[in-house]
Amino acid sequence: MGPEGLFTGPIPGQSLTRSPDQRAPYEMPPKFAKTADALDHLLLMVTDKKFIKNFAILLRKNKKLKLDKMVSAILQQGFVNGMWTVDTAMLLIEPLLCLMVWAAAQQDASVTFSTDTGYEDRTGFDYVTNALVGDPNVIANDMSASNEEVLDEKSQGITDDATPAPQSPLLGA
Amino acid sequence: MEFMDKLAAKAADKFKETADSLWEGLGGTQASKSKTVRNAKFSAGKYATLATMVLMLNFPDNASVFRQAFNVTGNGPDGVEGFAASKSVTANAIARALHNTQVISQKLSLDAIRETGNADVTATSTLKDIRQILPVITRSVKETK
């Protein structure tokens, strides 16, 4: 830490100078004490159809969005809001990463990581789809159609709030 | 919290490595590097497969739902049955691997209940866990090929 770094953070013990009645959420017991409970909460959040749809739109619009950074941000925000401790957040990194990859795959959206070199071996998807569908052009056309659909919805001012909230696929239709 | 970013990046690396191991175990693909780069906009099937497996292990009660909802294309067949019915060797291997994962996850869950009376005792399953059972999953896939 450089000399200027000493003045950018809080003074050691600064949090203790506040009244105990004005505690920050992360200074109190977390909402989810068990990792499994926190994971259940994240499962319900990520498997929500509204979340999956918006996540896919976000991934398509912002190609530079890195999934691991996003996972880290979600878990840090949860800690700041008193949902879980830092220890629990560390244990939740891998499962949440997998959940987000799963959510992206549901909408045929691509994920990138901050450690990607640009020449990742991302085989599999095209191979499987070509084998199943037969014609790769079919997939490309469908993808562009779905993108146009999303843009049309936005231009017409249709928002997700106007429609009833869809049920999570894991909760049963 | 910079360390969280670093941990997440490390987890991403582990995820990619595990996905590669899984894909190797399932028989790999015939796609060349150049084709891969050209199709990089597509989400990788191996990522989706591995993510589904980890989720099945973490949520054994919902394992069949994840298996049923498996769909790497968004446009292709839904569920493992659709993949199993395909003529593609890779798609068949994915279907069998997911079936094996479901069986293993439910067995692990039953063992946990028998020992402690609580299925949540395993807390969260990580990529380390799936790396341990990966040989079991892929071996049976190869045997039934």
H or E stretch including B17? helix B2-25
Res. A117: pLDDT tops 50: yes
**pLDDT band, very low/low/confident/very high, at A171 (cuts 50, 70, 90):** very low
Structure tokens at A13: 């013990």
pLDDT, average across residues B68-86: 59
Tell me how many degrees the CA angle B60-B62-B65 measures, rounded to the nearest 5. 135
pLDDT, average across residues A38-49: 90
pLDDT, average across residues A19-45: 88
Structure tokens at A99: 């959940």
- Cα–Cα distances in Å, from B48 out to A36, A106, A131? 22, 9, 17
Residue in chain B closest to A109 (alpha carbons) equals B43
Kindly determine whether residue B75 and residue A108, on different chains, have CB atoms separated by under 8 Å.
yes
Give A 85-104 residues with CB within 8 A of chain B: 86, 89-95, 97-99, 101-102, 104
pLDDT, average across residues A119-135: 52
Res. A132: pLDDT tops 80: no
Nearest CA-CA distance, residue A1 and chain B, Å: 14
